[in-house]
């Protein structure tokens, strides 16, 4: 190696080696500083966005101006509105049998402990002997009351209305077991789990429809919402994913991605499907038919479970902005894009609504409109049962001013009574 000597005779390295050393040190400093900078950004993003551990979907309506919020939440202060919305349970934690639930929360507006959301009021009136008529409410985020306060949920309104109207022999106590992303099969599984833990309600109310249609990757395959992501964690072929797929998968988990608003959509992969995506090679009519068939199968099983434990069970199909919602174009929170899947499913339910009026026996009145029964698995056999199967829609405890229709199911025939 070539060297040079200074006048004193000391040996000096060549200029080439000196330049290489400077380049190496400079590159190492750049890499180190980049890692430190990205770590600081990620920590700041997670702190600022309050992203806890667990499974999470982005909040689609995070940025709403105060004027719009005031219109949507009349009578509430901006602080109360923000408190309810900021506590929206969009992050999920593991739960046995049903896969996940929302984490515990305790704020002035939102209280969640285990599977149950706090209800204010929780009872129609106080029971002097401590004996209540317990009603369990199941559903998705609509039933839970995501982005509203504890006193604005469906179970809370139900307890309040029963208390105001009176007439119940025993005081009613409500329990809100609604969970974001849950659909009919998970709700039935949750009821069974609670029963195995010793819970004994006198009645159970199920509110479904939106998630059953919105999440065909869940409802068609009869799997919880996060199954695709959990499958990927246990996939033996995961190391064989391409470098690009792995990079995108890691990118989607970062707070930095949310902070800058990047979608971070990974390339299509059989291992990374979405529960929002419909099954391949299935047209929309077949998909809707199969989803409704699966729903009714779940209802059949749930009714058997309720009968075994002497529980009065009621099933409702919730209203949605995609179908016959007159205020849709003025509602800043409603999706404006048409959805042929929702329209087809709800039109099929609507077509089964009876129009005759007659009295209904006790315990058989449901509020709403029915769903027809059919299946792509055995179309001829299932369609032969079409006229004998009914399930209803629209929410429970509907205020009288909305003139909600009531339908009666007796001897497998549906008639309208109001």
pTM of the model: 0.69
Rounded CA gap, 300 and 306, in Å?
Answer: 10
Give the residue among 377, 379, 367, 371 at the shortest CA–CA distance from 408. 367
Rounded CA gap, 279 and 281, in Å?
Answer: 7
Give the residue among 112, 208, 124 at the shortest CA–CA distance from 174. 124
312: number of Cβ within 10 Å: 14
Structure tokens at 212: 């059953």
Cα–Cα distances in angstroms (integers) from residue 272 to residues 90, 238, 244, in the given order: 20, 10, 13
Structure tokens at 229: 């992501």
Taking only the tens of pLDDT, the chain with its 418 residues reads: 555 555 555 555 568 888 888 888 888 889 888 888 877 876 766 555 444 445 555 555 556 777 877 777 888 888 888 778 776 656 789 999 999 999 999 999 999 999 999 999 999 999 888 899 999 999 999 999 988 999 999 999 999 999 998 867 889 999 999 999 999 999 999 999 999 999 999 999 999 999 999 999 999 999 999 998 888 777 655 555 566 666 666 666 666 665 555 433 333 334 346 888 898 889 999 999 999 999 989 999 999 999 999 999 998 888 888 888 888 888 877 888 889 999 999 888 677 544 333 333 333 333 333 333 333 333 333 333 323 333 443 333 433 333 344 444 333 344 444 4
Rounded CA gap, 402 and 114, in Å?
Answer: 34
């Amino acid at each position: 190696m070539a060297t040079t000597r200074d006048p004193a005779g000391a040996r000096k390295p060549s200029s080439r080696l000196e330049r290489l050393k400077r380049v190496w040190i400079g590159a190492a400093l750049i890499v180190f500083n980049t890692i430190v900078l990205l770590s600081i950004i990620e920590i700041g993003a997670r702190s600022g966005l309050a992203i806890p551990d667990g499974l999470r979907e982005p909040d689609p309506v995070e940025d709403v101006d105060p004027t719009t919020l005031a219109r949507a939440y009349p009578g509430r202060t901006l602080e109360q509105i923000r408190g309810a919305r900021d506590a929206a349970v969009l992050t999920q934690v593991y739960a046995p049998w049903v896969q996940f639930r929302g984490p515990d929360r305790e704020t002035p507006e939102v209280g969640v402990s285990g599977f149950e959301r706090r209800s204010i009021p929780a009872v129609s009136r106080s029971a002097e002997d401590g004996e209540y008529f317990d009603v369990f409410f199941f559903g998705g985020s609509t039933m839970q009351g995501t982005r509203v306060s504890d006193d604005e949920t469906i179970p809370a309104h139900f307890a309040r209305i029963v208390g105001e109207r009176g007439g119940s022999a025993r005081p009613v106590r409500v329990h809100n077991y609604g969970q974001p992303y849950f659909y009919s099969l998970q709700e039935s599984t949750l009821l069974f789990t609670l029963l195995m833990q010793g819970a004994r309600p006198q009645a159970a109310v199920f509110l479904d429809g939106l998630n059953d249609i919105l999440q065909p990757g869940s409802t068609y395959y009869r799997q919880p919402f996060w199954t695709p992501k959990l499958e990927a964690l246990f996939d033996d072929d995961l190391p064989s994913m391409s470098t690009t797929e792995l990079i995108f998968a890691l990118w989607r988990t970062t707070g930095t991605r949310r902070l800058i608003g990047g979608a971070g959509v990974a390339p299509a992969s059989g291992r990374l499907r979405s529960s929002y995506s419909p099954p391949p090679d299935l047209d929309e009519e077949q998909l809707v038919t199969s989803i409704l068939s699966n729903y009714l199968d779940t209802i059949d099983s749930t009714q058997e479970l309720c009968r075994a434990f002497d529980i009065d069970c009621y099933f409702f199909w919730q209203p949605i902005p995609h179908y016959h919602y007159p205020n849709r174009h003025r509602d800043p929170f409603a999706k404006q894009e048409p959805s042929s899947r929702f329209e087809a499913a709800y039109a099929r339910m609507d077509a089964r609504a009876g129009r005759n009026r007659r009295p209904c026996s006790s315990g058989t009145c449901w509020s709403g409109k029915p769903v027809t029964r059919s299946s792509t698995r055995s179309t001829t056999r299932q369609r032969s049962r079409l006229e004998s199967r009914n399930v209803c829609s629209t929410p429970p405890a509907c205020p009288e001013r909305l003139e909600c229709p009531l339908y009666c199911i007796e001897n497998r025939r549906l008639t309208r009574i109001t």
